[in-house]
Amino acid sequence: MEVTQVLLNAQSIDGAVRKNAEESLKQFQEQNLPGFLLVLSGELVNEEKPVETRKLAGLILKNALDAKDQQRKVELVQRWLLLDGNAKSQIKSGLLKTLSSPVSDARSTASQVIAKVAGIELPHKQWPELIGSLLSNVHQLPAQAKQATLETLGYLCEEVSPDVIDQDQVNKILTAVVQGMSASEGNIDVRLAATRALYNALGFAQANFSNDMERDYLMRVVCEATQSPDVRIRQAAFECLVSISSTYYDKLVPYIQDIFSITAKAVREDEEPVALQAVEFWSSICDEEIDILEEYGGDFTGDSNIPCFYFIKQAIPALVPMLLETLLKQEEGQDQDEGAWNIAMAGGTCLGLVAKTVGDDIVPLVVPFIEENITKPDWRQREAATYAFGLREVGPSSPLTPFFQEIVQSLLTVTHREDAREYRLRTAAYETLNEVVRCSTEETAPLVLQLVPIIIMELHSTLEGQKLSSDEKEKQSELQGLLCGCLQVFACWSATVHEEAMLAIGAIAYAIGPDFAKYMPEFIVGVVGDICRALEEKIVPYCDGIMTQLLKNLSSNQLHRSVKPPIFSCFGDIALAVGEYFEKYLMWAMSALQSAAELSTHTAGFKNSPKTQLLIPYAPHILQFIDGIYMEKDMDDVVMKTAIGVLGDLADTLGSHAGSLIQQSVSSKDFLNECLSSEDPIIKESAEWAKLAITRTISRIVRQLKLSVFKLSLTLASSSMGQIPSLTMEEVDRYGFGEVCHGRILSSSAPCS
């Protein structure tokens, strides 16, 4: 077989030619696996072959070592382990040689294949010389070999578990990585590869972060990288800080002031990809402190091995003003783009987490901002002030309750101003009113009930038959969309009116709670979710009819297809509302979801709920669906963005249950990496969010393991010795990495400065 031509044919635009080539490759693999793998590795290593065939040969070789299906993956692993030793040695030798290729695609592909082989062999105590061979490349020229080797080390750390590599090798890997990150390294690509490799290696650095001098050195190198002239390196360095914030929260005390200075500068002055990661650092800190405060009460007690250091509470005098500034950087039309993620959105999200973390302490910090911007002519300033106003209700204990009626009346007055349509004033007023109502307390419930007929009356006035000019009709449509609360609105298929009506009724249902039951016969699928959250178990009498109709609608060819995605979302909302009663519907709901392969809309409904256990059996199906999408060569960008979002939703919703599955899913990692390198900024933003969600999930697994181990050691120590055990400096120094720190650590008392 002339493999080069076959590989070229496998990429042909002619479907018949491509199919024949794929069949030939499949037949070759089935009949002679050792020969097949040797031919592919030979194609990859041959500098005289076309770039496209070398890259495809490497990808096929990689896929011959791994699979989406777990059973198939086990089979491929066993086939590799049973392969002739000489053939394996020849393949591995060729892969290592390719790391020095002048062709970037060949080097990168070889890096991925080496990591796959390492993922198979290292746990079986095979290929023990691999890490030594890679480390020797790091000290050689040309720079491209160093870059490819560091990239390989990063992939390797992503593929194998920390317990597979002994501490001495971990120390050597970290040494090579931080040397590659050093400012003394003149090649930008080498520094970038090293920084990205450190991100993947952080999970292996538990012992090193427990040593003060080693930790100081690592933190110094990461912080220095955030100041690199290359934006890619700065972004990668901040990603490392985000990972450190969740994995090593309890080690951040000496560095937090310097990190604030670094992140503040990035948020205010750097390019958006870097600024987003800088904001994400503080969002991650909020997540950690919220978890600690909710789970343990915040103090270092017998129930907690990691105390809350109240980083956010200490930082808010400077942190909140910085984040408020980001609210002024909205982009035109960002509300219409579901995939948009920019610095204003990131800052707003972080502010919400800060409010949840510190409670009432945020109020005096946002009030001056509201007062300064609420009346400004620039819509960005007014919208930012409106959002900041909502923050006063997110975390604080409703200090606005005494002023509720006056606030509502003032907002309604604003909606009737002659200039209400200018600068989004009416929109901002109604959005603020919705947030005030949504966050109202039991004390203001009677006032909320008084507000309902007022809103409905105003809406009725817009629905009365009138002869209107085209401009007046546009104004009426906008006003209807903002009022939204009466059933007649749903008769109008206006996208804006329809969407706003759904939101308004949902807000009213949320506010008046179980009393909304009297309105139940009148409403439709778009508000089922909000009604379920309002009625909770009182929705049970309606569930048989609702579920029957929803399932019937899914199979209907006459129903507009835009209605079907919200139906899937309703399944999750109903499950949360009725609890154990949903068991009778689970089989039918999941069957419909699997058949339609539209799983992205229901996962968030189970987040932070005990009902996540119900989704666990279906997680492999979700990942299998994503795997299938990834294998589509002509994948639509919208599908790619949505699919990578589903992967992030899965990690965010199922936590550690999804983390282990995602770690085992080879295609998920490859899909994520492909999306991260996409030229489409929307896909890249979605992938970055998914990466953060997955990283948090895996970091929490590591953190919980660390907590368990430490708690066990405390228990054993107290029972056997009566005191907490400690390591001597001699024992710590045995890790070896400290020698690097002793030689390189600077004498400054501010490790990140």
- Residue 167 lies inside a defined structural domain of this protein: no
**Residues 446, 428 contacting (CB under 8 angstroms):** no
Instruction: Kindly state the tokens that stand for 149.
Output: 């080797």
Same domain, 371 and 410: no
More confident residue, 404 or 237: 237
Alpha-carbon distances of 239 from 196, 200, 242, 330, rounded to whole Å: 9, 10, 5, 23
**Residues 110, 99 contacting (CB under 8 angstroms):** yes
Is the model's pLDDT at 741 over the cut of 50?
no
Q: What is the DSSP letter of 171?
A: H
Q: What is the DSSP letter of 579?
A: G
Domain boundary among 522, 541, 557: 522
Domain containing residue 262: CATH number: 1.25.10
CA-to-CA distance for 530 and 43, rounded, in angstroms?
58
Q: What is the DSSP letter of 47?
A: T
**Residues 687, 643 contacting (CB under 8 angstroms):** no
Phi, then psi, of 252 in degrees rounded to 5: -90, -10
SS3 content of the chain, % helix, strand, coil (to 5): 80, 0, 20
Q: What is the residue type of 582?
A: F
- Residue 633 lies inside a defined structural domain of this protein: yes
3-class SS of residue 175: helix
pLDDT one-digit tens code per residue, 449-496 = 777 777 667 666 655 555 556 666 565 565 555 555 322 322 333 334
CA-to-CA distance for 592 and 579, rounded, in angstroms?
20
The residue segments making up the domain with residue 57 are: 1-127
Instruction: Kindly state the tokens that stand for 600.
Output: 């992205």
More confident residue, 579 or 562: 579
Determine which of 173-182, 617-626, 657-666, 698-707 has the lowest per-residue pLDDT on average. Answer: 698-707
Is the model's pLDDT at 237 over the cut of 80?
yes
pLDDT one-digit tens code per residue, 364-393 = 888 888 888 877 778 788 878 777 776 655
More confident residue, 438 or 687: 687
Same domain, 280 and 313: yes
- Residue 580 lies inside a defined structural domain of this protein: yes
3-class SS of residue 466: coil
CA-to-CA distance for 5 and 52, rounded, in angstroms?
11
Q: What is the DSSP letter of 598?
A: -
Is the model's pLDDT at 131 over the cut of 70?
yes
More confident residue, 173 or 340: 173
Domain boundary among 484, 503, 522: 522
- Residue 477 lies inside a defined structural domain of this protein: yes
Write b or e for each residue in 171-186: b if 16 or more Cβ atoms lie within 10 A of its Cβ, otherwise e. bbbbbbbbbbbeeeee
With CA atoms as reference, report the closest residue to 415 among 347, 337, 478, 502: 478
Radius of gyration of the chain (CA): 29
- Residue 742 lies inside a defined structural domain of this protein: no
Same domain, 223 and 318: yes
- pLDDT score at 684: 82
CA-to-CA distance for 500 and 494, rounded, in angstroms?
10
- pLDDT score at 269: 93
CA-to-CA distance for 668 and 225, rounded, in angstroms?
28
Which runs of consecutive H residues, i.e. helices, occur in 248-271?
256-269
Residue identified by tokens 């970091």 is 699
Residue identified by tokens 């194609």 is 43
- pLDDT score at 488: 32
End-to-end alpha carbon distance in the chain = 60
Same domain, 462 and 569: no
Phi, then psi, of 749 in degrees rounded to 5: -80, -10
The verdict on whether omega for the bond into residue 681 sits within 30 degrees of 0, i.e. cis, is no
Same domain, 512 and 620: no
Same domain, 473 and 556: no
Residue identified by tokens 């506010």 is 511
The length of the chain is 753
On the 0-12 / 13-18 / 19+ scale of CB atoms within 10 A, 748 is: exposed
Same domain, 56 and 70: yes
- pLDDT score at 643: 82
Same domain, 505 and 535: no
Same domain, 249 and 366: yes
Domain boundary among 496, 522, 548: 522
**Residues 631, 670 contacting (CB under 8 angstroms):** no
CA-to-CA distance for 159 and 330, rounded, in angstroms?
39
| Number of domains composing the chain | 5
- pLDDT score at 691: 83
- Residue 679 lies inside a defined structural domain of this protein: yes
More confident residue, 316 or 445: 316
Is the model's pLDDT at 508 over the cut of 50?
yes
Is the model's pLDDT at 189 over the cut of 90?
yes
- Residue 34 lies inside a defined structural domain of this protein: yes
- pLDDT score at 99: 94
CA-to-CA distance for 195 and 673, rounded, in angstroms?
15
Quick count: other Cβ atoms within 10 Å of Cβ 557? Answer: 5
- pLDDT score at 371: 83
Same domain, 216 and 111: no
Write b or e for each residue in 285-302: b if 16 or more Cβ atoms lie within 10 A of its Cβ, otherwise e. bbbbbebbeeebeeeeee
**Residues 486, 463 contacting (CB under 8 angstroms):** yes
Is the model's pLDDT at 394 over the cut of 70?
no
Phi, then psi, of 538 in degrees rounded to 5: -70, -10
Res. 512 pLDDT band, cuts 50 70 90:
low
Determine which of 13-17, 38-42, 164-168, 649-653 has the lowest per-residue pLDDT on average. Answer: 649-653
CA-to-CA distance for 529 and 573, rounded, in angstroms?
5
3-class SS of residue 467: coil
Task: State the pTM of this model.
Answer: 0.58
Same domain, 346 and 418: no
- pLDDT score at 306: 74
pLDDT one-digit tens code per residue, 307-344 = 889 999 999 999 999 999 998 887 755 554 555 688 98
- pLDDT score at 296: 66
CA-to-CA distance for 331 and 140, rounded, in angstroms?
47
CA-to-CA distance for 67 and 78, rounded, in angstroms?
12
Same domain, 533 and 468: no
More confident residue, 246 or 652: 246
Mean pLDDT (whole number) for 723-732: 41
Longest dimension (CA), the chain: 89
- Residue 87 lies inside a defined structural domain of this protein: yes
